[in-house]
Structure 1
Amino acid sequence: MPQWSDYSNGERIKILRGAEIRQDDLAEMTGLSVATIQAAEQDKRLSLPTLLKIAAALSVDTSVILGQQAPRRALRQEDRTMMRELSHAVHDTAAGAATTVEAPTLSELASITRQGWNLYWKGRYAEAGSLAAPLLRSAAARLREQPVGEQAEAWSVVADAYRICAYVANLMGVRDLAYASIGHAQRAAEHAGDDLRQALVTSGRSWVYLRDARLPEALELAERAAVEIEPRFSRATPEQLTVYGSHVNFAAVVASRMGDKERAADYLSQSHATGARMGQEVRAHGTLFGPVSATTQAVGINVSLGQTGKALTLISSIHDVGQLSEAAQHRYALDKAMAQADAKMWDASLDTLEAALRSAPYWARHQALPQVIVSKVGRASTARLRRVSKLIGAPGVAGFPPATAKNAL
């Protein structure tokens, strides 16, 4: 199967522009003639100025067109454009580059931040990223206008905006931007003087480490974040329990990825206890947690540990996931499909997977787990397998190797 470097420069340009961008569209985007675009795609002529203009229009580095670096998985043109603007906003704001944007009120910024998190938890990552860029610039403008000694709340909004940027970048596989964003979020949270926000940022950094396969560091950070904000249940607020519950649950996730059953079980116990104490799902600080979250996430944790029986038992006890965010519902469906595949319930697994893919095609496009599930299903209906494989599509470009479980979270 061909690798990205096996294609010619012209073939790579055609693949990158895809079906949604025609040659005359690319010509208009670059200011070049259609003939020049055609010549480039036919490998007849590709001058440096032409290469630079095409790369800028397609929102990729020149090294991608030249085959020195593969394009990031699942990033379409609109995703690349969004990520470029997000990157500009993160780095410009961190550098203190002044902009002409107006400074909304803190109340207005809080409302926009909630909107950004809502988009994120619905799995609409491109929209969340598109909102996060102007949110970050506006929050920085508000911070500059706040009187000295009255900046804590503005710093909180800046921290939240950076965290949304980091989460979107991490999901899109743009790891360098995720690291930069979460680092800036940490500084902003420290200025805000909010312990819960600082813990959330630490947990966010742990997630970046997890997706970068830095498991020991991820676990150390996840545990530290959970311990630092552990509340006294008798006097804890719903907000504190929400943040704490999501932290101990994530610590269980990381422990499960390391194969540490005892540690994962300990954190799962704390997660279930927190959820039971809450009695319902609660949203706070851009996260959602409660008894349903604790149980559904335990399914994926047990799957990771190879405890298929426990995962299926939990699945049989779950009857309503309507309280969860849309992204959490979809993720639970993938975990359920994986548990069914591990139990050799081939057709049931594909049925569950197909339903998730059809209900959330955009969200699914940014997940590696569907490919892992399909690779496990060996004795299902051929027609069903072919149908699900078509929904998944190739990971980025036809011919790329399939994703592995290591980067499926």
Structure 2
Amino acid sequence: MQWSEYSNGQRIKILRGRDVTQSQLAEMTGLSVVTIQKAEQDKALSLNTLLTIADALGADTSVILGQQAPRRAMAQADRITLRTLSQTVHDTAAGLLPEGVEEAGGADDLRSVIRACWERYWKGLYVEAGALAAPLLQQAAMHLHGRPTGEQGEAWGLLADSYRISAYVANLMGARDLAYAAIGHAQAAAERSADELQPAVVASGRSWIYLRDARLQDALRLAEKAAVDVEPRFSTATVDQLTVYGSHINFAAVVASRLKDKERAADYLSQSHAAGVRMGAEHRAYGTLFGPLTATTQAVGINVALGLTGKALTLIDSIKDVTGLTEAARHRYAMDKAMTLADAGLWDRSLDTLEETLVQAPEWARHQALPNVIVEKVGRASTGRLRRVRDLIGAQTGISHGFPPATAKSAL
């Protein structure tokens, strides 16, 4: 059933979900329980009631009226987080600082919060990261405003980091317009920062947004430029420089693989592995993790995208321990592994890997499209296990409520 086919009352009930009762929604809105009941029964829904309920649920009125569908996997907390983040991104970019709020601390305090945001992001806790990113943006903007002219380079860098985190959260939660806006503000701030690596780091982030939006040629062009801009001399490069370069050139290989450019992808993979070998171990910098293990695990997905299933299987056999990766990177590798096994016709092993990840990381998985793609590939090859995995995906994404399934475009 399509979202537009539900009644307004049914859509309110679906958006309310199982976690919010009618009584709780009444308390959240200041309306009576009877008013909520009538709204959900399509007996009465005035404009004021519609606006009040939409605000409490963090949903656009157009979603309640069926004019547009809610985003995939969008729970109430997701909607509220994105709405707050969107307002903060646009307000800070317009120079509107919060009234009655004092700056919490200096640059060191902001860097600490930025690290906390990235920790949540790389654990796959995107709603938490987004909830923290909004006040972070406000504090970063206030910090910049308080710095004397000529002494703002560091503050611009902190603001660029804050916008970039916001863009990443928005992109993974499907809010593409917000992602584009935030990464644009991040780029403007990075160009005025005192850190020469930041503009390329932000450019790579924009390339990832292009990739998720299926703008593959634009994504490749930008990814290549970002990698070239930060390419260091291996003999003198710092570990931070190698981390940034390795992650950039690895992402260029990802984009090339989506374009089925085997030669270019192989060239970038070679450079990625060389950077990883030079580093010797995983390292975090600029909100990313890179090293030899990252280079190898991401090569699995790249080879799968190129149709080189045999190479991907060989790489999987060589990977014995992934504890050095972030939680989100481990989960993504598990999805790539499941896809490889599906391509190889190892249906049960593929579904075992997929099911284990869905159970271990439901919060991360509900923002991913790849599980649906894997299930579609397995098709009718397995019965009981396939039904069990489909039930897990449905419970996490809201597909059982009639939300639209993932598309190939959203899986990028």
Q: Same fold (TM over 0.5)?
A: yes
* Counterpart-to-counterpart distance in 2, 1:235 and 1:173: 40
Give secondary structure in 2 for the equivalent of 1:97: coil
- Aligned to 1:195, the other structure's residue is in SS state coil
Alpha-carbon distance in 1 for matches of 2:314, 2:136: 43
* Alpha-carbon distance in 1 for matches of 2:52, 2:403: 26
Q: Which residue of 2 aligns with 1:287?
A: 288
Q: Are 1:17 and 2:16 an aligned pair? A: yes
Distance 2:25 2:320 in 1: 49
Contact persistence 2:227–2:249 (CA under 8 A): yes
Deviation of the 1:193 alpha carbon: 3.5
1:331 correspondence with 2:332: yes
Deviates more, 1:80-89 or 1:340-349: 80-89
**1:35 and 1:116 mapped to 2: Cα distance?**
41
The AA in structure 2 aligned to 1:57 is A
2:86: which partner in 1?
87
Say whether the 8 Å CA contact 1:155–1:192 is kept in structure 2. Answer: yes
Choose which of 403, 407, 411 in structure 2 pairs with 1:408.
411
How big is the shift at 1:125? 0.6
Q: 2:398 matched to which residue of 1?
A: 396
Contact 2:213 2:409 in 1 (8 A): no
Paired amino acid for 2:407: T
Counterpart residue type for residue 402 of structure 1: P
2:184 is matched by which residue type in structure 1? G
Residue 26 (str. 1) matches residue 54 (str. 2):
no
Shift in Å at residue 345 of structure 1? 0.3
Q: CA deviation at 1:364?
A: 0.5
State how far apart, in whole Å, the 2-side matches of 1:255 and 1:390 are: 34
User: Where in structure 2 are the equivalents of 1:129-278 lying within 5 Å?
Assistant: 129-278=130-279
Distance 1:401 1:374 in 2: 15
Aligned length: 408
Contact 2:2/2:402 (<8 A) preserved: yes
- Root-mean-square deviation (Å): 1.1
Query: Which letter maps to 2:210?
Result: Y
**1:132-169 deviations in Å (ceiling 9; x for gaps):** 11111011111111122111111111000000000000
Query: C-alpha displacement at 1:380, in angstroms?
Result: 4.3
- 1:345 equivalent in alignment to 2:346: yes
Unmatched 5+ residue regions in structure 1?
A: none
TM-fit CA distance, 1:28: 1.3
Letter in 2 for 1:406: K
Cα shift at 1:121:
0.6
Question: Partner amino acid for 1:403?
Answer: A
- Tell me the distance in 2 between the aligned counterparts of 1:11 and 1:292: 48
The AA in structure 1 aligned to 2:354 is L
Q: Does 1:72 align with 2:83?
A: no
Deviates more, 1:130-139 or 1:375-384: 375-384
* Structure 2: tracts of 5 or more residues without a match: none
SS of 1:288's partner is: strand
Amino acid in structure 1 at the alignment position of 2:65: L
Where 2:191 maps in the other structure, the secondary structure is helix
Cα distance in 2 for partners of 1:263, 1:162 equals 31
Contact 2:69 2:403 (8 Å CA) reproduced = no
1:367 shift after superposition: 0.4
Q: 1:118 and 1:400 mapped to 2: Cα distance?
A: 30
The alpha-carbon deviation at position 258 of structure 1 amounts to 1.1
User: Does the aligned pair in 2 maintain the 1:302–1:311 contact within 8 Å?
Assistant: yes
Deviations 1:235-281 (Å, cap 9, x if unpaired)? 11000000000000101111111111111111111101111111100
1:105 alignment partner in structure 2: 106
CA distance in 2, matches of 1:374, 1:286: 31
User: What's the secondary structure of 1:283's corresponding residue?
Assistant: strand
CA contact (8 A) 1:101 1:137 kept: no
Q: Is the 8 A contact 2:298 2:333 kept in 1?
A: yes
Once residues 301 and 20 of structure 2 are traced to their aligned partners in structure 1, the CA distance between those partners, rounded to angstroms, is 38
- Identify the range of structure 1 (310-319 vs 101-110) with the bigger mean alpha-carbon deviation: 101-110
Task: Tell me how far 1:401 sits from its aligned partner.
Answer: 4.0
CA contact (8 A) 1:346 1:378 kept: no
CA distance in 1, matches of 2:353, 2:398: 23
- The alpha carbon displacement at 1:50 in A equals 0.9
Matched letter for residue 396 of structure 1: G
Instruction: Tell me the SS of whatever aligns to 2:192.
Output: helix
Distance in 2 (alpha carbons) for counterparts of 1:220 and 1:229: 15
Do the aligned partners of 2:249 and 2:272 also contact (CA within 8 Å) in 1?
yes
Q: Which stretch of structure 1 is more off in the superposition, 223-232 or 94-103?
A: 94-103
Q: Please say if residues 113 and 161 of structure 1, whose CA atoms lie closer than 8 Å, have aligned partners that are also in contact.
A: yes
Query: 1:238 is aligned with what amino acid?
Result: V
- For residues 380 and 322 of structure 1, what CA distance do their matches in structure 2 show? 31
How many angstroms apart in 1 are the aligned matches of 2:136 and 2:47? Answer: 36
SS of residue matched to 1:98: coil
* Amino acid paired to 1:58: L
**Deviation of the 1:46 alpha carbon:** 1.0
1:62 & 1:295 partners in 2: Cα distance? 46
Contact kept? 2:180, 2:209, Cα under 8 Å? yes
Amino acid of the residue matched to residue 399 of structure 1?
Answer: G
Kindly indicate whether the alpha-carbon contact (under 8 Å) linking 2:273 and 2:292 is maintained by their aligned counterparts in 1: yes
